[in-house]
Amino acid sequence: MRISYCYWYLLLLTNIAEHSINSFALIKRRLNNIIKLNEAKGKGGKNWIERSTPTGMEIEGGETEYSIRVEGGSFELDSLSKRIYETLKEAALKRFAGKVIPSELENIYKASTLNIAALEATKVALGENKLEKVIVEDEQQNWGKIELIEYKSKKFSSIEDVIELGLWEPGESFSFVVRNVLAKEKEMTIEDLMAMLDPSNQMKMPAPLLPDDPSERITSLKALSDDNERRCNDAHTTKSSNERLIDIVISIDKFKEALEGKDSKAISFIMEAFETHSCLILQLNETQSLILNDMWNVAEYIFEESDIKQRPPPMNVISEAGSKNAVVGYASYENDQMQFLETRLRRSDFKLFPTDILPPPLEDDFIKSFHLLGEISKHVTQIVVEAANNECNLSAELSHKLAQLATNELLDDGTTFSDIKDTNICMSPHRFCQYSFHQKTNKKSKEIFGAHTDSTFVTILPCASTPGLEIYNDELEEWFSPETIAKQHFQKHSQKDSSSSSSSWHSSYVCILPGELLQILTRSMILSAVHRVVINSNESRMSVPALIRARSNAIFDAQKYFGENALRNPLLKDCNSLTMEQVHDALQPSQK
């Protein structure tokens, strides 16, 4: 079956929302290399545009057909195509039974990705030349005739050719020539008029800035979701700064003193780590480290010894869960460069789902690690929410009482809470991940999982032996590696402790990242962490994060959890009376 025969079947299935394309705004702002009409065309430049209507005649209505060449490198079509492909697949997974895309449709998704990326780049090229594309019937199929695609110094005459030969993959750059693109001159905007009247910008008013205080700009769940998307899009894709020394490591003993309210400096340290760096690194004791060491052995078994790839449990909602979000199973992307196994516990007996993926001793070890990570997550959430309550001028006694109540009733650590009608399955997944990058390329590293935030109270990640997690610092406009910081901390202190084992150093540290739900509970005093995964060429990285989410059926009662004046806060008011599942769903991109 040729791609063209079922091209629109894909678009019908995916039903791409307008907001998905809007997420490419950051990339579009960087496209500044278009050659103008009055410059050398075609043969001399990378990008060019010229009229293709015979003798340059205008079609009725002032419309003209244009031919355009776009050079992929200057348009960052690698990043753009990756985002489009991820959006297409995310939308499609919701429509296929078992949340698995049929293999026979893979090429159709790649062809649509290439087509949409070319269309978006063409629109920008026209805009740079004070033109705008004329909307035609069947816009995404009939927008122009692509007659040449250049990929890795090879030339192809159509999208179908480059896709069916199995060469191009989303996330790789390409160049193209498109003919018969119908466009017209842009109508003059108020900005254009001001540019003519005031070329030196003396009359121009400064653009309105977003309030510095997040609590002023984030007044609803939609505003929170939109702000986090903006922060992710604004995160530069620059290399990380691994040489910057950041003090975000705290010992488990100091952590416990903060929980008990005995060490105000430790509480301030935790808040500063979250507010300034969006991350806290916790150094564990020996007993806890052994639990995580056993967990890493389980991860190695999953990806290196088990038959998970040969008999993968499909991604499905657990039938007895009581929530549509209780998904478990195995998924693989980009030719196994990203592999995920989502697991959850049954609340009544701590049975692991998917079932029968681990021998009993290993399953017990893995469940112990989740209980440890859940307990730490619960404690750090209580510390932070209590400190935020104090900042809102609640008494110390009431701050503590309300923080403890909100944490116990809203955060899902897998335990049963008598006052809440819980789902049968814990809503906080514990995820096995394996990332690899084995492509023949000049790139030394690759952003394999792009910038995002999590709809969690916290995401807690045992430090991996191979660094790859990176967190974005908005103020410094750079990424940093918490695992590198943890390793530096270990190396510094292991010199004083001859019993420390360098081979398993990472089992002694966990990285704690604030999520969107913690942002709500702290009234945006702490923002959710923008983070990504970067992998070096010819390396493999395992990660086993626990995403600590909310009890789905719990009701967000603002005054119960934050005091009688809570409804004065617009964000808390917007959440009031919703179930935590409704809060979670409102934060997802599909709800925008």
Residue 156 shares a structural domain with residue 220: no
203 domain-assigned: no
| Domain contains 418 | yes
At 568-585, the pLDDT tens digits run: 999 999 999 999 999 999
Judgement on whether residues 378 and 466 belong to the same structural domain of the protein: yes
**One-letter amino acid for residue 525 of the chain:** M
**Does residue 208 form part of some domain?**
no
Q: Are residues 289 and 151 in the same domain?
A: no
One domain for residues 362 and 486: yes
- Using an 8 Å Cβ cutoff, are 216 and 10 in contact? no
- Answer yes or no: are the C-beta atoms of 250 and 223 closer than 8 Å: no
Region of poorest pLDDT, from 141-145, 354-358, 484-488: 141-145
Q: What is the CATH number of the domain that holds 475?
A: 2.60.120.330
pTM: 0.65
Residue 587: phi and psi, rounded to 5, are -85, -10
- Percent of the chain whose predicted confidence (pLDDT) is above 90: 51
Last residue of a domain, one of 153, 169, 196: 196
Tokens describing residue 308: 């998970």
- Of 131, 164, 196, the residue that ends a domain is 196
Same domain for 183 and 289, yes or no, is no
Residue entry with tokens 């997690």: 469
- Indicate whether 272 pLDDT > 60: yes
User: What digits encode the pLDDT tens for the residues 422-481?
Assistant: 888 999 999 999 998 776 656 677 888 889 999 999 999 999 999 999 999 887 888 999
Write the single-letter amino acid at 379.
H
**318 and 170 housed in the same domain:** no
Looking at the structure, do residues 158 and 222 belong to the same domain, yes or no? no
206 found inside a domain: no
Cα separation of 428 and 371, whole Å? 11
Amino acid identity at 176: F
DSSP state string for 122-173: HHHHHHHTTEEEPP-TTTTTSS-EEEEEEETTEEESSHHHHHHTT---TTS-
Is residue 516 situated within a structural domain? yes
Whether 365 contacts 295, CB under 8 Å? yes
Residues 179 and 270 in one domain: no
Task: Mark whether 188 and 222 lie in a shared domain.
Answer: no
Quote the DSSP letter at residue 4: G
482 Cβ contact list (under 8 Å, min separation 6):
248, 279, 281, 463, 469, 471, 511
pLDDT tens per residue, range 332-391:
887 888 899 999 999 989 999 999 999 999 999 999 999 999 999 999 999 999 999 999
Amino acid of residue 96: F
Residue 133 C-beta-side C-alpha neighbours within 13 Å:
21
Is 168 in the same domain as 283? no
What lies within 8 Å, CB to CB, of 12 at 6+ separation is none
User: Of 133, 165, 196, at which residue does a domain stop?
Assistant: 196
Residue 303 lies in a domain: yes
Residue 83 lies in a domain: yes
Domain count, the chain: 2
Domain range for 578 is: 214-591
- Asked whether residue 209 is assigned to any structural domain, the reply reads no
Same domain, 186 and 299: no
In terms of domains, do 14 and 87 share one?
A: yes
What is each CA distance from 231 to 21, 224, 236, 316, 474, in whole angstroms?
Answer: 16, 11, 10, 31, 8
